[in-house]
Amino acid sequence: MTNIDNIKVTKNHTLKQALELLDQSAKSILLMVDAAGVLMRTITDGDIRRQLLSGKSLDDSLEDLEKSNPVVVGLDATSDEILALMDQRNINQIPVVDGDNKPVELHLRQNLQPRIQLSIPHMGEYERQFVEEAFATNWIAPLGPNVDGFEKELADYVGSKHAAALSSGTAAIHLALRLLDVGSGDIVLCSSFTFVASANPILYQGATPVFIDSDQETWNMSPVALEKALKDCCESGTKPKAIIVVHLYGQSADMDSIMALSKKYDVPVVEDAAESLGALYKGKHTGTFGKFGVFSFNGNKIITTSGGGMLISDDGELIDKARFLSTQARDPAPYYEHTEIGYNYRMSNILAGIGRGQLKVLDSRVEARREVFDRYRSGLSRFECLDWSPQPETDYSNCWLSVVSLNPEKTEVSPESLIQALAKSNIEARHVWKPMHMQPLFKGCRYYTEEETSFCDYLFDTAVCLPSASNMTQVQNDMVISEIEKILD
Ligand SMILES: *Cc1c(COP(=O)(O)O)cnc(C)c1O
């Protein structure tokens, strides 16, 4: 914001004085106030030119300029709001007024930085074609060629045999549990370090979650802690019905170890790959190791349909059953007959069209996010207090979000203070997901750690997600880096 003392005038100023002030301040605008200091109008070069053309002389006062209602904003307006208003009114300056309508500051377009956001949609050039095709053929209602196409194309992309397009990733996890016959009183093991949508479906089915800590190598489910839980549960006669493994922030979990345990204890795996579409573990796509894999196309994910999800499996019968359950479980009868509980979980043909377009640009989105992460890591490499999320050599992360942990033994800067300092520069950073075993919702649930102390508690206390959108420019990437440098120095 800019100081305004040198651009305030009253009606007693002359046209000449006004021109001189415009010239000196170089702001292209003056603020005319009344005796009480209340804003009456703004004045530009053009206003003065029109006064002169109407016969006024340079020594005449500004008193004939009429009061108008200038565009103003309050003190709490955000950059994004102000920029939107400037675009809408086609202006480059907006005064800030206090509660009494007295000007206190001036916003200039060139000083306003659009907010650098954590993760936002990034459309390609094909989405519209698919959606328009749906309109042209009136395939608006649920199902249609885009749904079939999206399912097949996604399954081919990740190397799975079958896929069902659904209304959300959460719906996909829910159906996976339903299909594994998870019910009241059953136990489901689940990564603790995740978003709540991984675990909510366990509760939908009336089952009991048992949470598993992360390991230091992947920040995802610790096989050591998982085995402790499997052993305990099996020994006490309550073999878990499923293991929900999350590939958080685009990094895969240690799938060799986890699949070996799944086999040893005969408990099926559901992979929550909502954040890891496009990521590989030893050359194979995340989501294709377990009995089921789940993807999300929510607005913040690496590709989006504005909202949606996909359930994949190599078992075609189970995916057929998922399609059946997701369309209200209607029995094959000439009328509406139902024997099982169903859901309205199917993806619409319009949204699947967006998905087909997004799938075409997925590889470039993964590359862009990986570049963002690399730029942060190399740009900030001199700071020893920063521990970047691990990327084992055998894996290929999609770097959905760039995550860094601030070692409290090497810096005083906490996630909270970093997030707030970046917010002042209009940069959005966020805490990492708060682990499930720490959530009030899951109070009292059992939790297994690898060591004495909980590693994901440490991550929650120390780690931050940085802006990571694939449409973030290098200039913006560098701005975030230089702001972090300032804060850490
Ligand atoms: C986004 C997300 C989900 C849920 O996906 P929706 O499509 O939003 O329902 C599940 N798990 C994780 C880890 C997620 O990030």
Answer whether residue 27 shows pLDDT above 90: no
How many angstroms is it from 176 CA to the middle of ligand 1? 14
Does domain 362-488 fall under CATH 3.30.365.10? My reply is: no
Specify the pLDDT at position 38: 95
Mean pLDDT throughout 417-431? Answer: 94
Question: What is the CATH code of the structural domain delimited by 127-359?
Answer: 3.40.640.10
Q: Which pLDDT value is given to residue 2?
A: 66
* pLDDT at residue 151 in the model: 98
Residue 392: predicted pLDDT: 94
Phi, psi of 26 (to 5 degrees): 55, 30
Centroid of ligand 1 to alpha carbon of 169 (angstroms): 5
C-alpha 468 to ligand 1 mean position (Å): 17
Q: What is the DSSP string of 391-443?
A: --TTEE---SSEEEEE-TTT-S--HHHHHHHHHHTTB--EEPPPPGGGSGGGT
Closest by CA position to 426, among listed 368, 467, 462: 467
Q: Cα torsion at 298, 301, 306, 307 (round to 10°)?
A: -20
- Over residues 437-450, the mean pLDDT reads 97
Q: Which atom of ligand 1 is nearest to the CA of 194?
A: 13
Please check the confidence at residue 481 and state whether its pLDDT lies above 60.
Answer: yes
Give the distance (Å) from ligand 1 centre to CA of residue 40.
Answer: 51
Q: Mean pLDDT, the chain, as a whole number?
A: 95
Place 26 in a pLDDT band, splitting at 50, 70 and 90: confident
CA of 173 to the centre of ligand 1 (A): 9
Mean pLDDT over 171-185 rounds to 98
Closest atom of ligand 1 relative to the 301 alpha carbon = 1
Q: Where are the alpha helices (DSSP H) in 214-308?
A: 223-235, 255-265
The topology under which CATH files domain 5-112 is CBS-domain (3.10.580)
Write down the pLDDT at residue 138.
87
Q: How large is the average pLDDT for residues 164-176?
A: 98
Q: Which residues contact ligand 1 via a Cβ below 6 A?
A: 168-170, 194-195, 197-198, 246, 272, 274-275, 296, 298, 309
The Cα 108–Cα 73 span in angstroms is 12
pLDDT digits (tens, 9 = 90+) for 36-88: 999 999 999 999 999 999 999 999 999 999 888 899 999 888 888 898 999 99
* Domain extent listing, the chain: 5-112, 127-359, 362-488
Residue whose pair of structure tokens reads 């939790």 in the numeric block: 447
pLDDT tens profile 390-410: 999 999 999 999 999 999 999
Percentage of the chain exceeding pLDDT 90: 90
Rounded Cα–Cα distance for residues 255 and 282 (Å): 9
Helix, strand, coil share (%) of the chain residues, nearest 5: 40, 20, 45
Helix (H) or strand (E) run with residue 310 in it: strand 309-313
Q: Distance, CA 192 to ligand 1 centroid (Å)?
A: 14
Q: Which atom of ligand 1 is nearest to the CA of 170?
A: 9
| Nearest residue by C-alpha to atom 2 in ligand 1 | 274
What does the alpha-carbon distance between residue 131 and residue 126 come to, in Å, rounded to a whole number?
Answer: 9
Structure-block tokens of residue 468:
């990571």
> Rounded mean pLDDT of 334-340?
96
Please give the Cα distance from 376 to 76 (Å, whole number).
31
